[in-house]
Amino acid sequence: MIGNIAASLYAASGSVPFGGTVDYLVVAGGGGGAGELVGGSQNVQGGGGGAGGLRCTVTATGGGGTLETALSLSTSTNYTVTVGAGGPGGAASGSGGPGTVGSNSVFSTITSNGGGFGGARAVGGNGGSGGGGGTAGSFAGGTGTANQGFAGGTGNWTDGVSGGAGGGGGASAVGANGSAAGTGGNGGNGVATSITGSSVTYGGGGGGGAYNIVAGSGGTGGGGAGGNQAAGTNATANTGGGGGGAGVRSSSGTGGGGGSGIVILRYTGGTITIGAGLTGSTSVAGGYNITTITAGTGNVSWV
């Protein structure tokens, strides 16, 4: 009966009515990696930033949780969308420059938490996924948020010469611990989803900084690599990846910036209005309309 009504409306108007059920991917901004400044004979390493929290109704979601439930929405009603910015990387500071927590992303009643900052001579920050712990001591990573992401790894440093910071947590895995021998922890991997019709991975943690051997790699899904006696690498925009932490010996280094988040909506029929303040576009794949919003804050509505 419903199909007959839809067919009749299509014949009369040339368009299919809005189906009312909206699948979503909501990824928050990733946390910034920690920066470090050379201080005396000590070699210090910054933790990688945690990935932004990831909530999704298609394929898989963050934190090892069960799939989220699609929202039932109405026409001619405004629904808030915010795409969280990535947290800046930490400065090359004399006492260590922690990164900055990423910003939350929102769609209607769904909020994903920004990624935790990478720790500089301190513990990593809590967030959607936790930031990695720094060195000049052995500092723990921050915690992730249930059903969004995982914890960061621990930094390890015992002799004041070599060491490795913890990797930032990712949407699908914890960040790896650094090693006292001089290896930075890898960032935790992200989550792959096919909400657009193709599999894309989001929410990789940033790699921990290192002195002596090798810095941590960024997690799959846009995480930035740590620096080995160098600055951390920025995460990839619109992935929610965490920034890489800096590793320091003879020169100082800044932390890598976290990647901005993204909001993707999948639905049938209707016409969406993307309001002022938002940057986005709509395409068609697999019989669905796919609206991808990459920046800003504003409202969306359907007719």
Phi, psi (deg, nearest 5) at residue 300: -125, 155
What is the distance between the alpha carbons of residues 56 and 182, in angstroms, rounded to a whole number? Answer: 37
From 34-38, 93-97, 135-139, 229-233, the region with the lowest mean pLDDT: 93-97
Residues 241-267: tens digit of each pLDDT: 999 999 887 677 899 999 999 999 999
Percent of the chain with pLDDT over 70: 91
Higher-confidence residue of 273 and 1: namely 273
At 3 the pLDDT is 36
For the segment 162-169, the average pLDDT, to the nearest whole number, is: 93
**What is the tens place of the pLDDT at every residue in 180-199?**
888 999 999 999 999 999 99
| pLDDT value, residue 171 | 98
Structure tokens at 195: 């909400």
**Cβ 113 vs Cβ 52: under 8 Å:** yes
pLDDT (tens digit, 9 = 90+) per residue, 196-225? 999 999 999 999 999 888 999 999 999 999
Cβ neighbours of 21 (radius 10 Å)? 14
**What is the torsional sign of CA 188, 247, 28, 289?**
negative
Q: Quick one: pLDDT at residue 42?
A: 65
DSSP 294: E
Cα–Cα dist 232/223, whole Å:
11
* Cα 291 from Cα 274, distance rounded (Å): 9
Average pLDDT over residues 106-129: 97
**How much is the average pLDDT of 116-141?**
95
Give me the chain's average pLDDT, please.
91
The whole model's pTM is what?
A: 0.93
Q: d(Cα 137, Cα 158) in Å, to the nearest integer?
A: 7
- pLDDT level of residue 117 (50, 70, 90 thresholds): very high
Residue with tokens 């509505």: 301
**Using an 8 Å Cβ cutoff, are 188 and 150 in contact?**
yes
Question: Measured between alpha carbons, how far is 118 from 83 in angstroms, rounded to an integer?
Answer: 21
Hey, is 289 helix, strand or coil? strand
Tokens 């699948």 correspond to what residue? 23
Q: Where are the alpha helices (DSSP H) in the chain?
A: 2-13
* pLDDT at 193 (0 to 100): 98
Pick the range with the lowest mean pLDDT from 142-146, 208-212, 214-218, 272-276.
208-212
Bridge partner residues of 105 (DSSP): 112
Quick one: tokens of 35? 């920066």
Q: What are residue 267's DSSP bridge partners?
A: 289
To the nearest 10°, the Cα dihedral for 8, 13, 16, 20? -100
On the question of pLDDT at 138 being above 80, the answer is yes
Q: Which of 38-42, 53-57, 199-203 is predicted with the least confidence, judged by mean pLDDT? A: 38-42
Q: Above 60 in pLDDT, residue 41?
A: no
Instruction: Tell me the C-alpha distance between 56 and 218, whole Å.
Output: 22
- 3-state percent breakdown (helix, strand, coil) of the chain, nearest 5: 5, 25, 70
Would you kindly state where each structural domain of the chain is located, as residue ranges?
A: 21-264+290-303
pLDDT score at 6:
39
Query: 5 falls in which pLDDT band (50, 70, 90)?
Result: very low
